[in-house]
Structure 1
């Protein structure tokens, strides 16, 4: 006495390759557990930080590591106190290398800063080469046009 229209399909009601939830979970939605944990942290954050710092000061290595990694800002690049010499042609690149090396030897810059400056010379060199090439090409074209 079951009618075909009242038949409830069991098992796999969706076609192969078709999701049962095509829109999926909304972007940015958070789990209930995460929301509860965030609410607790919002209330107790200051006390937790103080406790972690106190334990770190008492010598707890895990808390010390957390405090150093999370509470102290990471060292970021600082401006380099170095004046780049003028570079008008490829012949000026050795002057730049010499200037960087002298400043490094005198302790004015660190080895990593020297490396950064030397890497920049590659960019300068390519730029100068392309400008010099353009001048040479223009001169050749002008010579060809005169003939």
Structure 2
């Protein structure tokens, strides 16, 4: 377990519990709760009905979580008709601007287009290297496909 020498705190990204094991207190609490789940639930609901803020938070966070927005599928004919990635990007940004596409969905599409750009750039570099190697008479090593 990596700790900062001066402060003794765990370094960012380093777990103080690398095995993921539950603490003894947490394990005992879970065992008590499992012995009578119905009673625990009834007390939680009763506390929530009385307005207990902790019970309300637990109830709404765990038992009745917030609904995630469900965006209906969107058809973007301009995206499918795009002749290149620039036109595809423009189709997505135009759809966001018109309100035909949510910002979140548009962002995911743009990330996908960005990934496609990176793959195409990678392929283009590989082709260029292969062309240079062919002109120089350099034999391609096996396993250089990636």
TM-score range for the pair, normalised by the shorter chain length: 0.5 to 0.7
Give, in angstroms, the shift of residue 44 of structure 1: 2.1
Give unpaired runs (5+ residues) of structure 2.
Answer: 1-18, 138-146
Give, in angstroms, the shift of residue 60 of structure 1: 2.6
Higher RCO structure, 1 or 2 (CA under 8 Å, sep 6+): 1
Q: Pick from 101, 107, 114: which aligns with 2:99?
A: 107
- RMSD between superposed Cα atoms in Å: 4.0
Equivalent in the alignment of 1:121 = 113
Number of residue-to-residue matches in the alignment: 116
Equivalent in the alignment of 2:41 = 49
Single out whichever of 62-71 and 39-48 deviates more from structure 2. Answer: 39-48
Cα-to-partner distance string for 1:54-79 (whole Å, 9 max, x where unaligned): 33234332211111222234667978
Residues 34-45 of structure 1 aligned to structure 2 (within 5 Å):
37-45=29-37
* TM-score with structure 1 setting the length: 0.53
Q: Is the 8 A contact 1:53 1:63 kept in 2?
A: yes
Which is greater in Rg? Answer: 1
Q: Is the 8 A contact 1:52 1:63 kept in 2?
A: yes
Give unpaired runs (5+ residues) of structure 1.
Answer: 1-26
Pairing 1:134–2:126 present: yes
